[in-house]
Amino acid sequence: HRLDRVAAPWLGVCSTLRQDDPCGQARSYAEKSHGLGLQASVLPLPKGHAAINQELGLPGDYTRGVEAFMASLDPAVAGLLR
């Protein structure tokens, strides 16, 4: 896919445990997104892929980080997440 000025905001959740540096890749992509005026954030986590999928929604910093990004997109969403 091609990144352009009409792309949707995105949150890159990445594992800090992997040797291939997915968080560095996500930060680079976020910088390119910001250069186009897009909203993008990176949420690095000390979790593997399975935990990232399984733990979203559970109480903790991970879920709060995702919810904070979602809240930043729309005041109505922010109100629902309180």
Which element (helix H / strand E) includes 64? Answer: helix 61-73
pLDDT of residue 1: 60
Strands 10-15 and 40-45 turn out to be parallel
Query: Of 38, 37, 55, which is closest to residue 46 (Cα–Cα)?
Result: 55
Please tell me the chain's helix, strand, coil percentages from 3-state DSSP, rounded to the nearest 5. 50, 15, 35
Per-residue pLDDT tens for 16-67? Answer: 999 999 999 999 999 999 999 999 999 999 999 999 999 999 999 999 999 9
- What is the pTM for the complete model shown? 0.88
What are the φ and ψ backbone dihedral angles of 42, each rounded to 5 degrees? Answer: -120, 135
